[in-house]
């Protein structure tokens, strides 16, 4: 463990915050703008729906599969070192995305971006918690979360402007100068830290590879099924994914130091909240993937207009998340985790009103406001409940598992939803065809949220007093679970 103790309000503290916000902001900005760029990417590369799905999922696949390993590497070899490697890796992947001559290179480069994200994302928050004095840690995490939220709010405007202006490639190329600024500042001004207690533990590389391959094969089968049907390749990929998934579970049960310790799921509350997480983030991923396309393909919005149309969800999160977290702490998580998904489901059903020449005030705004209020209601209590379901010494591991579950749920949702609703590979090229499939997709997303609400109502209870990290009140994520792996920091 590092003996560095940076204080808020000092030059050293400001440099640490600047660096971590800039690094994690690259990944957050990228995730908020890519969906807006999808129609232009498809048109420019003459791509079908499967390519658009892989453009989103290649990044989420490597991020979800490797983020726990990335956090462990930072603990072992130095959080700053792994963070810097992640930033450089992410920038190289972004450069390749921006220069991609075709769909294959773009998808491969997005997978490289995800590896960089898996290295830098957990390291950004771990650096703050390892560097700042305990008295200042909660405030520093709060600033990190708030400034990251501002980046998320700017993302749709910036992404839409880039797509409508210089082109979609600049959505990725923008990361290169940001990384060129982040790396030297990190090396000069951010103290190194590592956890000496983990040096005797072995890395679960085999588990990480098995988990990632299982996700990749199942994702491939789901994405390719609409175009290829039940071909031998699709069926073989699905079966192989299931077999590798079973092998992953068996390996984790046998290892002394597994990436995903099975005993942590002995907590009924932890297991239940992760089931709710899977339902919620699967629905969110499916919604935002399709809504950005719906607004452009069907409603005729520009890329900037589509990004701005969805902005109220982020604004509401920024304004009200802290109050929601305080309310959840006061009344317990059961009500917020039941009501929140139901509100989100209502917002998604209101999106059924968005068609050709939709009015923003009458049709779009009510849907995104109701959705945003539901997200405000559930996200902060969800995160706090995850951390409060285990003892404080395992809170970092718990939040890492919860984050991986959220990303894996989004990955599977984006892959499976077009198949479930019968979306053809060329559906996004036709307003009528895409609008029809969206009318089938939104009830599916809403139904998954209702399932999550039912699970929360039946199983979630107030965590034991004093279990949760004090930082969870301010690190309850602006757009999702906290991206950390800081065991014992």
Per-residue pLDDT reduced to its tens digit, 341-400: 999 999 999 999 988 888 899 999 999 999 999 998 988 888 778 877 777 656 667 777
> Sign of torsion, CA 357 359 363 369?
positive
DSSP class of 363: I
pLDDT of residue 243: 94
Burial 113-150 (b: 16+ CB within 10 A, else e): bbbbbbbbbbbbbbbbbbbbeeebbbebbbbbbebbbe
What are the respective helix, strand and coil percentages of the chain, to the nearest 5?
Answer: 80, 0, 20
Return per-residue pLDDT of the chain as tens, 489 residues. Answer: 445 677 877 888 888 888 888 888 888 777 777 888 888 999 899 888 889 999 988 998 888 888 888 877 887 788 889 899 999 999 999 999 999 999 999 999 999 999 998 888 887 777 887 788 777 776 777 677 667 666 666 777 788 888 888 899 998 998 999 999 999 999 988 888 776 665 556 677 888 888 889 989 999 898 888 777 778 888 999 999 999 999 988 998 888 778 778 888 888 888 899 999 999 999 999 998 898 889 999 998 988 888 888 888 888 887 887 777 778 778 888 899 999 999 999 999 999 998 888 889 999 999 999 999 999 898 888 877 887 777 765 666 777 788 888 888 988 999 999 888 888 888 888 888 888 888 999 999 999 999 999 999 999 876 544 444 444 443 333 344 443 333 333
Among 29, 54, 28, 31, which residue's Cα sits nearest to residue 41? 54
**What is the spatial distance between Cα 365 and Cα 359, in angstroms, rounded to a whole number?**
9
**What is the spatial distance between Cα 209 and Cα 342, in angstroms, rounded to a whole number?**
36
Indicate yes or no: pTM above 0.85. Answer: no
Burial class (CB in 10 A: 0-12, 13-18, 19+), 184: exposed
CB 379 within 8 A of CB 473: no
> Which residue's entry shows tokens 């463990």?
1
CB 141 within 8 A of CB 125: yes
Burial 287-309 (b: 16+ CB within 10 A, else e): bbbbbbbbbbbbbebebbbbbbb
CB 142 within 8 A of CB 17: no
Instruction: Give SS3 for 132.
Output: strand
Return the ∠ at Cα 56 (arms to 99 and 34), rounded to 5°.
65
Per-residue pLDDT reduced to its tens digit, 7-57: 877 888 888 888 888 888 888 777 777 888 888 999 899 888 889 999 988
Give the CA distances from residue 465 to residues 330, 335, 406, 456, in Å, rounded to whole numbers and listed in that order. Answer: 11, 18, 26, 19
CB 426 within 8 A of CB 263: no
**What is the spatial distance between Cα 437 and Cα 435, in angstroms, rounded to a whole number?**
6
């Amino acid at each position: 463990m590092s003996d560095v103790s940076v204080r808020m309000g000092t030059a050293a503290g400001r440099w640490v915050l600047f660096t971590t916000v800039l690094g994690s902001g690259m990944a957050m900005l990228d995730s908020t703008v890519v969906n807006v760029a999808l129609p232009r990417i498809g048109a420019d590369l003459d791509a079908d729906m499967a390519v658009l799905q892989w453009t989103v999922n290649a990044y989420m696949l490597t991020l979800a599969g490797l983020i726990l390993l990335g956090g462990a590497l930072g603990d072992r070899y130095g959080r700053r070192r792994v963070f810097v490697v992640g930033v450089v890796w992410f920038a190289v992947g972004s450069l390749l995305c921006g220069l991609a001559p075709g769909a294959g290179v773009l998808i491969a480069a997005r997978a490289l971006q995800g590896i960089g994200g898996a290295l830098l994302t957990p390291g950004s928050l771990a650096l703050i918690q390892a560097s700042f004095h305990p008295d200042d840690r909660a405030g520093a995490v709060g600033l990190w979360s708030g400034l990251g939220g501002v980046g998320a709010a700017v993302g749709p405007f910036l992404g839409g402007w880039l797509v409508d202006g210089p082109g979609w490639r600049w959505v990725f190329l923008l990361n290169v100068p940001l990384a060129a600024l982040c790396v030297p500042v990190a090396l000069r001004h951010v103290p190194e830290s590592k956890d000496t207690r983990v040096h005797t533990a072995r890395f679960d590389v085999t588990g990480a590879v098995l988990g990632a391959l299982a996700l990749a094969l199942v994702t491939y089968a789901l994405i390719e099924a609409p175009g290829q049907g039940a071909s031998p390749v699709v069926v073989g990929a699905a079966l192989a994914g299931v077999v590798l998934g079973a092998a992953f579970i068996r390996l984790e049960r046998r290892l002394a130091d597994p990436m995903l310790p099975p005993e942590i799921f002995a907590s009924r509350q932890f297991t239940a909240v992760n089931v709710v997480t899977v339902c919620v983030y699967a629905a969110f991923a499916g919604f935002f993937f399709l809504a950005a396309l719906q607004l452009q393909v069907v409603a005729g919005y520009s890329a900037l207009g589509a990004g701005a149309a969805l902005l109220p969800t982020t604004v509401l999160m920024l304004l009200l998340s802290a109050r929601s977290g305080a309310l959840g702490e006061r009344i317990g998580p059961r009500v917020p985790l039941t009501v929140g998904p139901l509100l989100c489901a209502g917002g998604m059903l209101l999106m059924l009103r968005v068609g050709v020449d939709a009015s923003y005030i009458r049709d779009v705004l009510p849907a995104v406001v109701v959705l945003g209020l539901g997200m405000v209601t559930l996200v902060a209590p969800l995160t706090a409940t995850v951390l409060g379901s285990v003892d404080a010494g395992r809170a970092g591991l718990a939040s890492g598992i919860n984050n991986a579950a959220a990303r894996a749920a989004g990955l599977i949702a984006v892959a499976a939803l077009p198949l479930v609703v019968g979306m053809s590979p060329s559906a996004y090229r036709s307003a009528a065809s895409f609008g029809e499939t969206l009318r089938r997709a939104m009830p599916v997303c809403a139904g998954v949220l209702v399932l999550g609400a039912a699970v929360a109502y039946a199983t979630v209870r107030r965590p034991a007093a004093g279990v949760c990290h004090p930082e969870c009140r301010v690190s309850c994520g602006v757009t999702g679970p906290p991206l950390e792996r800081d065991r014992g920091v």
